[in-house]
Structure 1
Amino acid sequence: SASDGMKSRFTNIAFGWSINGDNLQRELGIANVKLVNDFVAMGYGLLTLREHEYLALNDVPREVDAPIATIGAGTGLGECFLTPSGESYECFPTEGGHCDYSPTTDIEFGPNKRLSTERIISGNGLASIYEHLAEKFPEKVNSTVHAEFESTDSLRGGVVGKNAGSDELCSQAMEIFVKGYGREAGNAALKYLPRGGLYITGGMAPKNLDFFTKKSWFLDALFDKGRVTPALKSVPIYLVLTEDLGERGAHYYSYQVRHK
């Protein structure tokens, strides 16, 4: 969701729900309410991380006082970046997840259909990739897996992830997903040059950890940027294991606001 500090309209809710900070102050009896973008909260949450809560995907040291960025796939796809501000950092929202998605293989979605990156790099996106493959290659469909997929009302991406180690189409869907995620993470790294760290957040990576750490799909796609690849080699890449950064970041931000 996008926010100006006191009013917020939810991007991904069809009915256009909105929240008004002034109304919340009155109705809840809270003196000061600030609304922040969900990934701004995620970004501030990065500042609370302990070493056991993330994995380093490459062997690159963090640069002190350099920008930090995060990209995270879960229900949708979010991105934000942080820059040094005094003794800490200030976080800025983006709507990077709604940029165009560019297929790179013949079996991905056709070039004449506009897709935002979030439509592919998210839990629902993983499900959409599987559906596309099942339609394109019906002879490869595992009837048991497909029945489980069809009977699940929500979180179908979880069915694909659960079966990606044993089912051919689920594995192929996961490969497309992880490589696409890597490409978009590489795009974020190029835009922000976050030598303080690019953090992979959200639920999709930790829930499918082996496909990010035991295979080279993600990093190979992230660094596949042609002549500017060397610029990315100085960016440390981290995969965050905890999924409560949003709550922690909101607490961190409220503490900072209160004590200014």
Structure 2
Amino acid sequence: MFEFPVLIGDIGGTNARFGLITEKGAEPRLLSHEATAEHPDPSHAIRAALAKGGDALPPPRSTILAMGGRVDGPEPQLTNADWRIGGERIAKDFGLSSAVVVNDYVPVAAGAADIEPHDLTPVGPSPTIPGGARVVLGPGTGFGAAALVPYAAHLAIVSTEAGHTDFGPTTDFEEKVWHALERVEGRITVEAVLSGPGLARLHAAVAHVRTGQPHEKIDPAAVTEAGLKASDPHAAEALELFGRLLGRVCGDLALTFLATSGVYIGGGIAPRIVKVLEESGFREAFERKAPFEQMMRQIPTSVITVHDPAFKGLAALANEGRRFVYHGQVWRKEG
């Protein structure tokens, strides 16, 4: 499906990571991490990444790019940045024979197919249940999710926009927090709460509820640091609430796809707060899905701790393309 060398890219709202697979079966070589805001368009960032690879770097012949956003139309736009990712335009800019653009959680799902135990940190029970569906998700700049579903001899990857579904409270305290939460375009969605900006919103809302006074948002990294050190009781409580809410959403997606082979949590936040997830009621919220608690107790939940998990998945898609079935924008040079 791909002519080697294959340029791979994981393009998010904050950073774009580029690499090169020089030949079939080879591991990807990281070229660079580029700040999205520092480049006017993806081709500009790719040129910078290829330049950092050095003169001895073989030029790419095809590309597969994962982007943080819905892949629809000839040039889909990143959800949390101004770039448009047009496969045909990028292919012509670099003289490529083909270009594929997919949602950023497609490669994370592909990578979960053969993920090694040492690349995971279990949260709760971790039985091995092969042959079932799996869900991958992650709170980061936004919230992404996809499912990996066995389909005959293939693995079907179902990308979702689960982060943009509505999200509501289930306890009296959560209801008070919801009243204080900042809306995003008039809504409270999964992403509006379970993301970096969402953690900042949760902290401000928890502080508002506890003090009775509106509270300014602070940087999400500062919320995490203060919460882990317990130097700010509102930050610690916001982190605990974040963990419980994440457990609930993980359980909802596990039910949606009957993900009996596991739920895998990526993104930039979860690896930093594993202890919080273990102690916050994450698993209790995950399992509280009557009348299916018994089934939920058997589904493992783990945090993906490997660096850049999308790269492993992009390599799998490039090297084992016929194993997977997935939606994406595909452009091939005629003739």
Q: Specify the TM-score bucket, using the shorter chain as the normaliser.
A: 0.7 to 0.9
Shift of 1:160: 0.8
Of 152, 163, 167, the residue aligned with 2:226 is 163
Instruction: Give 1:129's aligned amino acid.
Output: L
TM-score normalised according to structure 1 size: 0.85
Q: Give me the whole-angstrom Cα distance separating, in 1, the residues matched to 2:89 and 2:322.
A: 20
Distance 1:8 1:248, change over 3 A: farther
Matches within 5 A, 1:9-24: 9-13=77-81, 15=82, 17-24=83-90
- 2:195 corresponds to 1:122: yes
Of 215, 240, 246, the residue aligned with 2:304 is 240
Larger RCO (CA within 8 A; separation ≥ 6): 1
Correspondence for 1:231: 295
Q: Give me the whole-angstrom Cα distance separating, in 2, the residues matched to 1:226 and 1:89.
A: 29
The share of aligned pairs that are identical, in percent, is 26
Matches within 5 A, 1:164-243: 164=227, 165-166=229-230, 167-213=232-278, 215-243=279-307
Q: Secondary structure at the match of 1:71?
A: strand
Relative to total residues, which structure has the larger helix share, 1 or 2? 1
Which shows bigger deviation, 19-28 or 234-243? 234-243
Shift of 1:87: 5.1
Q: Secondary structure at the match of 2:194?
A: coil
TM-score normalised according to structure 2 size: 0.67
User: Could you list the per-position Cα deviations for residues 185-215 of structure 1 after superposition, in whole angstroms to 9, with x for gaps in the alignment?
Assistant: 11011101111211111121111121012x1
Work out which of the two has the higher radius of gyration on C-alpha atoms and give 1 or 2: 2
Shift of 1:221: 1.0
Q: Give me the whole-angstrom Cα distance separating, in 2, the residues matched to 1:124 and 1:242.
A: 23
Shift of 1:252: 1.6
User: Could you list the per-position Cα deviations for residues 13-53 of structure 1 after superposition, in whole angstroms to 9, with x for gaps in the alignment?
Assistant: 3x4x3211111111111111100100112111223422211
Shift of 1:223: 1.1
Q: Give me the whole-angstrom Cα distance separating, in 2, the residues matched to 1:220 and 1:140.
A: 31
Q: Give me the whole-angstrom Cα distance separating, in 2, the residues matched to 1:56 and 1:233.
A: 13
Q: Give me the whole-angstrom Cα distance separating, in 1, the residues matched to 2:261 and 2:154.
A: 13
- 2:76 corresponds to 1:8: yes
User: Could you list the per-position Cα deviations for residues 90-136 of structure 1 after superposition, in whole angstroms to 9, with x for gaps in the alignment?
Assistant: 31100011111112223321299631110001111111111122333
User: Could you list the per-position Cα deviations for residues 143-164 of structure 1 after superposition, in whole angstroms to 9, with x for gaps in the alignment?
Assistant: xxx99x75xxxxx111111111
Instruction: Give 1:90's aligned amino acid.
Output: A
Q: Which runs of 5+ in 2 are unaligned?
A: 1-68, 325-335
- 2:200 corresponds to 1:131: no
How many residues align? The count is 247
Relative to total residues, which structure has the larger strand share, 1 or 2? 2
Correspondence for 1:33: 99
Of 85, 107, 116, the residue aligned with 2:176 is 107
Note if contact 1:8-1:35 (Cα within 8 Å) is conserved in structure 2: no
- 2:128 corresponds to 1:59: no
Q: Secondary structure at the match of 1:108?
A: helix
